[in-house]
Structure 1
């Protein structure tokens, strides 16, 4: 099965109109601006099995799939390269079993479940003991490079959001990264963004040498305090359900799961 390039936004819209039928399964949450950028860069391809269609986007080390499924008996087998697809669903009561089973039959396997958490400043509890951890906004390229390399090496390379070196300078200039130190040693980092007056954690990671020193907790406390504009200031992030220590820490601080999750599925072709 050979993918073909999407050559224009009109071409993309035509494909969506043909396959986005009533009752179809879809994980196509790409934003319009993202689609336009992909098309302009020649980085959006499409392949169809007849009743189902798959959009293919190249990512570092893999291809990401977005789809419209109208017949789950019509399987697809991608046999060149590594593929990941991520399905968004509204809590465990709406687990996308049909879609998951379809991809399992196509040779994929379950990877990670991520849950979305949120909090309001007045409901959150900040720690008092920093265990000798200092936090600051990253102001040098060396600090940003440390943070991004830590993020990229700490998270799943297929489902995570890889930060390319081309973005380092912008992150530094915008003050989007904070770093933790113990003594003079860089020990962890957090990357945040602001969207619609909500402060998002995009990445947070702790160096192996600093585990158990409350570095993650100190980073999160700094993030909360830094973005506090009023008692109703809002915070959000995604966390891997499998990361039990992180989940427990967030829950103790007062963050709550808001019934939105994703499951990623992988196909690795060696």
Structure 2
């Protein structure tokens, strides 16, 4: 009765501990949300998550790309706590860049806000089409960098590697050529990912990022001609025949592409459980040699059948 006397409308009784009344509360809140807050993102937008360790320059890159000071830039690691987004148009393509909180090693992540920031960052990677993995040229490639790349790999997202602060590379005793070789080796789980060397402070290389994203996204949504796909498969089988001995020897009879984002293929195979993982990797490499898929993962499923 006390709250009713304030003229604030009907009270909604809840118990957060027992999870009682929460649904009714959210229904009431959403009923008062104006349509102006609805998602107005174009359907054909390319979602790009900018991810990396704390203080590698993600927010500076985000601001340089969008031309707005949307994210706070500070030398203090961990300044960005929530995901910030902005829609950017480049050569007829709409891109939504998502500036995310830096990800520390699990043992270094504090409880509370930082933990939830990390969860939101991983969620942004999972919602993206392309993940821009930002490295710090002064520290080069760390285990945490590849760990972050692993999040994109596990979510089957395309990847672009950006080495930021390249203007400060003198602090690391390495040449451009050595850097390329080392990064390729550490990020070999993202085959032929575009690699850019930038400086958000001076603007060097920043304008090359949207083009790299656009090219990588085109691989992420690539659909292969059915006849070309079959010819590639049979040529691979001819160059490296399957084992001819054994009671449960595998036999491959066809292939089809069933979806994109990422490109996904189903191979019809008798006794697929007998197919060695090295042969599966060989077939994936043949598809990449023929059709590219640079920077994009591909998924391959083996369906039993004759």
Asked whether the two chains share a fold, i.e. TM above 0.5, the reply is no
Relative to the length of structure 2, the TM-score reads: 0.27
Pair member with larger Rg = 2
Structure with more of its chain in strand, by fraction: 1
Structure scoring higher RCO (CA < 8 A, sep ≥ 6) equals: 1
